[in-house]
Amino acid sequence: MSIRKHAAICCSKLANFICLKLGRQGVTWAGKIAITIYPDILKELASEVKKAIYVTCGTNGKTTTNNMLAAFLQSEGQRVICNSTGSNMLNGVISAFVLAADKKGHINADYACIEVDEASTLRVFPHFQPDYMILTNLFRDQLDRYGEIDITIELLNKALKMAPDCRIVVNADDVLSTALVHQSEHPAITYGIAEPCPDNPASTTEIREGQFCQLCGEKLEYHFYHFSQLGDYFCPSCGFKRPAIDYNADMISLRQGLSFTITNKDKTTASLHSNYRGFYNIYNILAAYSAAKAEGFSLKYINTVLEDFHPENGRMEQFSINGTNVLLNLAKNPAGFNQNISAVMEDTKEKNLIVVINDNSQDGHDISWLWDVDFERFADANIKRIIVSGLRAYDMALRFKYSDIACEAILSVEEAIKTMLDDNPDNLYILVNYTALFGTRKRLKNLEMEKK
Residues that bind Zn ion (CB under 5 A): 213, 215-216, 218, 235, 237-238, 240
CA distance 258 to 296: 25
Give the burial string for 190-203 (b: 16+ CB within 10 Å, else e): bbbbeeebeebebb
CB of 209 to Zn ion, least distance (A): 16
DSSP string, 114-183: EE--GGGHHHHTTT---SEEEE-------HHHH-SHHHHHHHHHHHHHH-TT-EEEEETT-HHHHHHHHH
CB of 221 to Zn ion, least distance (A): 10
DSSP state of 243: P
CB of 185 to Zn ion, least distance (A): 17
Q: Three-state DSSP class for 408?
A: strand
Please say which residue, 94 or 213, places its beta carbon nearer to Zn ion: 213
DSSP state of 375: G
Please say which residue, 214 or 433, places its beta carbon nearer to Zn ion: 214
Closest by CA to 113, choosing from 91, 75, 81, is 81
Report residue 268 CA to chain centroid gap.
28
Is residue 38 within 8 Å of residue 5, measured between CB atoms? yes
CA dihedral 233, 235, 236, 239 (to 10 degrees): -110
Please say which residue, 109 or 179, places its beta carbon nearer to Zn ion: 179
Please say which residue, 30 or 179, places its beta carbon nearer to Zn ion: 179
CB of 386 to Zn ion, least distance (A): 43
Please say which residue, 234 or 438, places its beta carbon nearer to Zn ion: 234
CB of 58 to Zn ion, least distance (A): 22
Please say which residue, 238 or 244, places its beta carbon nearer to Zn ion: 238
Helix axes 434-450, 413-422, angle to 10 degrees: 40
Please say which residue, 156 or 213, places its beta carbon nearer to Zn ion: 213
Please say which residue, 175 or 321, places its beta carbon nearer to Zn ion: 175
CB of 248 to Zn ion, least distance (A): 24
CA distance 314 to 329: 5
Rg (CA), the chain: 22
Please say which residue, 164 or 239, places its beta carbon nearer to Zn ion: 239
Is residue 60 within 8 Å of residue 92, measured between CB atoms? no
Residue 317 backbone dihedrals phi, psi, to 5 degrees = -85, 135
CB of 214 to Zn ion, least distance (A): 8
CB of 105 to Zn ion, least distance (A): 51
CB of 217 to Zn ion, least distance (A): 7
Is residue 200 within 8 Å of residue 228, measured between CB atoms? no
